[in-house]
Structures are given as C-alpha cells and as structure tokens.
C-alpha cells in the first residue's frame, strides 16, 4: 500500500492525473473488502489538496460503477473532516441510488446539505 501511495503522489507531481482506470483493479467481489481499509488509509496519507481529493473522487467513481455504494459512503464520511467535499464527490453516489434506492438517495442529499452548512 505504501508503494501505491508513492506512485499516486509521484504520478501527479510528474504532470499526469490519475484516471478512472487507476482503480480498475477494484471489482465487486468480497475479496476487495480485505484491501478496502488499507487502501483508504493509504489514500488519506497522500499529499493534501487536489491530489488527495481527486484520488478519493476517482475511488468513489469506481466503487459506484461496481455497485459498492456503502463503501462509497464510507469514504465520504472519511473525507468529511478535511472540508474537501463538493457536489462532484456526491454526484455518482446519488445517480446510482436514484436508479433503484430513492430513499437512500434522499439521505445522501441530506448529508450534502449538512456538509454545505459546515463549510460556509
């Protein structure tokens, strides 16, 4: 995991942005749960600012694509302490929930309102 963190930081410092393919190794399998917490800890140690925010957003995007909404919301809760949440962070989560889980989509929208008030 340390190597992944160093590579992600170096990648951006060298003028390249991480892409959606950065997390293509994540699939909708239970084995992913074994690396989930260590991966979040690694990403939280990335350089603060755009690098960390963008990487977390990419991870949320990938998790939504493989229908891991609960894990995406866990990342949002992890990010709440650093005031880096914006509509981009929530966009895919809400889109995925609105397709089949409207009640949960409303809860995420309420969370967005709370985050918006805390950042004002």
User: Encoding tokens for residue 39?
Assistant: 């991966």
82, 40 contact by CB (below 8 A)? no
Give the span between the Cα atoms of 103 and 97, in whole angstroms: 8
Q: Which residue has the higher pLDDT, 117 or 112?
A: 112
Structure confidence at residue 120 (pLDDT): 44
Q: What is the pLDDT of residues 74-116, one digit of tens each?
A: 888 888 776 677 888 888 888 888 877 788 888 888 888 888 7
User: What is the pLDDT at residue 83?
Assistant: 60
- In whole numbers, what is the pLDDT of the chain averaged over residues? 79
């Amino acid at each position: 995991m340390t190597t992944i963190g160093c590579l992600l930081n170096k990648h951006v410092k060298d003028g390249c942005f991480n892409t959606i393919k950065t997390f293509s190794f994540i699939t909708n399998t239970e084995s992913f749960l074994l690396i989930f917490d260590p991966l979040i800890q690694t990403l939280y140690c990335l350089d603060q600012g755009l690098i960390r925010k963008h990487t977390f957003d990419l991870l949320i995007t990938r998790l939504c694509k493989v229908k891991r909404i609960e894990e995406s919301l866990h990342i949002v809760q992890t990010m709440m302490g650093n005031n880096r949440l914006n509509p981009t962070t929530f966009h895919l989560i809400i889109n995925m929930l609105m397709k089949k889980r409207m009640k949960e989509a409303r809860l995420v929208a309420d969370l967005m309102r709370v985050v918006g008030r805390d950042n004002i």
